Amino acid sequence: MSDAAQPTAAEVRAAAEAVKTALDRHLAAVERRSGEDDPAVYEAFNELAAAAEEYDELLYDRYDEVTPFEIPGSDDALPPYTGPEEPNALSVLIRRDYAVVEPQRLLAQAQRVEAVEESGAVTAGFDAASGTVHGALGVLFGEFEPDEIASRHKEFGLEEGDSTLWVTASDEPVEPGEWLEAPFDQADTHQVVCRFDVSAVFDDDADDGIDDLDGIDDIEDEVTDTVEPELEGTLDETDAEAADLRSRNADR
């Protein structure tokens, strides 16, 4: 970039202030969130991501420096948006993965739901939809909203896995029943306005960074352990030579 096109120091400073403001807004949105998928949190996240990216670019252009900011899913995770500029309809696609880690807890919760619905006691030989794991899943997801299951997954014997939310735009709403047979086949990545991913892989990346720092500490300790004895030996030799010299001077 030529000097004439470089941002000014004031522009970089303004971008830094914008990041600070976006951080405050994001924290405030998180503190006031109404649930797992609070749109205010997503909006604040996007504003923070945009502010951080702008600051990073200006900082590099002006000072040839970078920041440690990295927005999950921002590295060309989606192709360029080619959907309508002014969409008249949108679709929200959500996927949440769970592992069934406590089947007995899952079965017990489903049996409680059926017991309440049927106003009957649950017996040891209970033979209903909740008597199997797949049947229990049907009972629970039929009774509770997905967001409630997400917030109470441990109560149902589930463990959260990866999850993602896509918002796609379109020119016109689809006809009722048009996509029910294959609800996810029409997802066009070029029409995704935004997406939000949650995955343990992001935590693993952070742990890798910590491991790298631990490796540096190990190297520093090894260097210290090697250098200090050598240095102590050198100092001992120097002290001995100095003492010998003082002894000779005294004899004279």
Radius of gyration of the CA atoms of the chain, in A = 31
Looking at residue 107, what is its pLDDT? 93
**Same domain, yes or no, for 107 and 192?**
yes
| pLDDT(102) > 90 | yes
- Asked if residue 188 and residue 110 are part of one domain, the reply reads yes
Spatial separation of the C-alpha atoms in residues 170 and 87, rounded to whole Å: 5
The CA distance from 157 to 159, in Å, is 7
Higher pLDDT, 187 or 216: 187
DSSP state of 250: H
User: Is the predicted pLDDT of residue 228 greater than 60, yes or no?
Assistant: no
Q: What is the total residue count of the chain?
A: 252
Residue 1: per-residue pLDDT: 47
Do both 190 and 99 map to the same domain? yes
Within a domain: 74: no
Q: Residue 58 domain-assigned?
A: yes
In the prediction, which pLDDT does 212 show? 55
Residue 64: what residue type? D
Rounded to a whole number, what is the distance in angstroms from the first to the last CA of the chain? 74
Instruction: Convert the pLDDT of each residue in 65-79 to its tens digit.
Output: 988 876 655 444 567
Q: How many CB atoms lie within 10 A of CB 33?
A: 15
Question: Does the structure show a pLDDT above 80 at 82?
Answer: yes
Same domain assignment for residues 113 and 157: yes
| Same domain, yes or no: 36 and 51 | yes
- Give the helix ranges, DSSP H, for 67-155: 103-118, 133-143, 146-151
For residue 115, what pLDDT band results from cuts at 50, 70 and 90? confident
Is the model more confident about 55 or about 128? 55
Q: What is the pLDDT of residue 124?
A: 41
Does residue 55 surpass a pLDDT of 90?
Answer: yes
Most confident of the following: 35-39, 207-211, 236-240? 35-39
pLDDT at 149 over 90: yes
Verdict on whether the full-model pTM lies above 0.75: no
- Sign for the CA dihedral angle at 137, 143, 147, 151 comes to negative
Which are the contacts of 203, defined by CB distance < 8 A and separation ≥ 6? none
Residue 83 inside a domain? The answer is no
- Separation CA 215–CA 204 (nearest Å): 16
Of the listed ranges 29-38, 126-135, 156-165, 221-230, the one predicted with least confidence: 221-230
Write out pLDDT tens, residues 2-42: 455 789 999 999 999 999 999 999 999 999 988 877 888 88
143 part of a folded domain: yes
